[in-house]
Amino acid sequence: MRVHLINPSSVSFGTAVITPRWQYVLAAATPSCFGDPILVDETLSQVDPERIEKGDAVGIGIHTANALRGYEIGKIAREREAHVIFGGIHATLFPEEAMELGGAHAVVKGDGDVVWAIALSDCLNGRPKPVYTGGQIEASNFVAARWDLVPRNRYMWASVQTVRGCPKHCSFCSVWRTDGQRPRQRTSDVVIEEIVQLRRLGFRFIALADDNFYPVTLTDLDLALRQNNPQRLNELKQMRAERFELMARLAQLPEDTVFFTQITMEAAEDTEFLDAMSAAHIKGALVGVESVTPEGLKDVYKDFNSAGQNLIERLRTFKRHGVHVLGSFIFGLPSDRPETFDMTAAAAISAELTFAQFVTLSPYPGTVDFTRWEKTLGPNPPTIAGVPLTRRWRIPQALRPKLYWDHPVMSAEEIRSRTQSVWDKFYGWRPIWKRSGFIKSSRGRLAFVLISRIYRHMYADTGIATDSARVTWSGRWTRWMAKPCRRLFAGRPMPDLAVPSLRVDLPVAVDL
Ligand code: SF4
């Protein structure tokens, strides 16, 4: 029985931005008696059905955006008499759908690190169970990825996870419900081992694919202190100390190493943390700004964010402490008005964001928004091409609506075109060139311009773009630019790189 791990995608570029980490984790979780799994990432190239043989086990990881393509692959694998196992966020939320539409024999719900080996062994015995509940395992049980299997020259970024789960509860996000609100943090030993392995291979750009890299805020510590809860306070201090410990070890890596992560805006209150990030080569972070107005933040349960001038100051703080920000904004919130778009574009530029993304509000399965939206449509929701609107990811792409909620004052078309114009404003050639001013070398500035354009065009393919002609053009442009861009990211292999040691002079407490 051979094991296949397939990352579905309807479009392949030959080169991809980021390694699909789950494939390399499940490869490591595959018992050695099955040999090395066959990894297929369809963002590179499409699966070859001929390679799937009777009795093989085929693992397919899906999220909502690639579920339809995943189901196509599942049916092909089932026709070839393989054992079909689905996993990932979407299969966790809709296991029955993977069975009905994707030919699944089994679905792994939650973390696959531990249950994957059990599912494979049951397949070998010809008796896979319909559901394997992986749940939310402790960080000590997270499996380190098998990077020896990665095709080094086809990815720009590698991905390593340091913490799973997020204590917040944003209405549009499923992370806190699927990964939990208790941050599960890996020790610095296992994280640094993986990172050094990647640097030895020649990856110098590494995404810290965390739900929230700043799981303990100063406000959390202050609250535990005021509640006179010493146990909680110690737990939080310990977690914070472990973050600093990891960052101190990352700081010992070669100077040209670049990390990128996700973080909440609250980190701006904690300049000691930002300085440690910068020293640790964490040069950039995605910050969910969502909205520039207090009403918009209320709409998405994110009132811990700032609005107005305070927002701009907070975002600038990141950059002043050496951390570039990719700001993420949502349009189509009930409180948005036509003037919100220009205000947002102006705030993104004034806050000195290095990159920005502007998405329209969509109800994602597993979120509070989705549950609320599903309820409003009642037991008999409208259908498109025979698919209920509440299962929108099954509607063929070309027929999918651009917006799922009626907005109080704007049409879907108005929201779409205004969103598009904010993208165009932020990613015009002139503003990009101006933003690249922080880079000294002209080669570096050129790289920045290319990356900004490729980022903008890749997004054009994910529902933000206007019409199919624009999407097709974007696809071509991205394919054309992807290879030279990848070369800009490549590093020199460092086979002799040593694992940075653990320093003993780290802060373990915080003065409040
Ligand atoms: S959007 Fe970010 S901060 Fe909010 S719950 Fe999700 S991961 Fe946490």
- Atom in ligand 1 nearest the alpha carbon of residue 172: 1
CA gap 146, 150 in Å, rounded: 8
Which is nearest to 116 in space by CA: 81, 72, 86? 86
Q: How far is the CA of 211 from the centre of ligand 1 (A)?
A: 7
287-293-294 Cα angle (round to 5): 95
How far is the centre of ligand 1, averaged over its atoms, from the C-alpha of 505 (Å)? 32
Record the tokens describing residue 491, joined without a space: 């590093």
Q: Which two tokens stand for residue 79?
A: 């026709």
The number of the ligand 1 atom at minimal distance from the alpha carbon of 212 is 7
Ligand 1 pocket (Cβ < 6 Å) reads 166, 168-170, 173, 175-176, 211-212, 264, 288
Q: Whose CA is nearest to atom 7 of ligand 1?
A: 211
To test ligand 1's pocket by mutation, which of 179, 182, 264, 369 has the most ligand atoms within 8 angstroms of CB?
Answer: 264
- Residue in 299, 175, 273, 139 with CA at minimum distance from that of residue 219: 273
Beta-strand (E) ranges in 201-345? 205-208, 258-263, 282-290, 324-331
User: How many residues in the chain?
Assistant: 512
Beta-strand pair 355-360/324-331: parallel
Q: Which atom of ligand 1 is nearest to the CA of 166?
A: 8
Cβ-contact 29, 113 below 8 angstroms: yes
How far is residue 212 CA from its own chain's centroid?
A: 10
pLDDT string in tens for the chain (512-residue length): 999 999 999 988 888 889 999 999 999 999 999 999 999 999 999 999 999 999 999 999 999 999 999 999 999 999 999 999 999 999 999 999 999 999 999 999 999 999 999 999 999 999 999 999 999 999 999 999 999 999 998 999 999 999 999 999 999 999 999 999 999 999 999 999 999 999 999 999 999 999 999 999 999 999 999 999 999 999 999 999 999 999 999 999 999 999 999 999 999 999 999 999 999 999 999 999 999 999 999 988 888 888 788 899 999 999 999 999 999 999 999 999 999 999 999 999 999 999 999 999 989 999 999 999 999 999 999 999 999 999 999 998 888 887 888 899 999 889 999 999 999 999 999 999 999 998 988 888 988 898 888 778 766 544 443 444 445 555 555 666 666 677 778 888 999 999 998 765 555 555 55
CA of 434 to the centre of ligand 1 (A): 31
CA–centroid distance, residue 210 to ligand 1 (Å): 10
Please tell me the distance from the alpha carbon of residue 443 to that of residue 504, in angstroms, as a whole number.
39
In our burial notation (b when 16+ CB lie closer than 10 A, e otherwise), range 73-98 reads bbebbbebebbbbbbbbbbbbbbebb
Atom of ligand 1 nearest to the CA of 290: 1
Per DSSP, the three-state class of 401 is coil
- Euclidean distance between the first and final Cα of the chain, in Å? 58
What does the alpha-carbon distance between residue 365 and residue 358 come to, in Å, rounded to a whole number?
A: 20
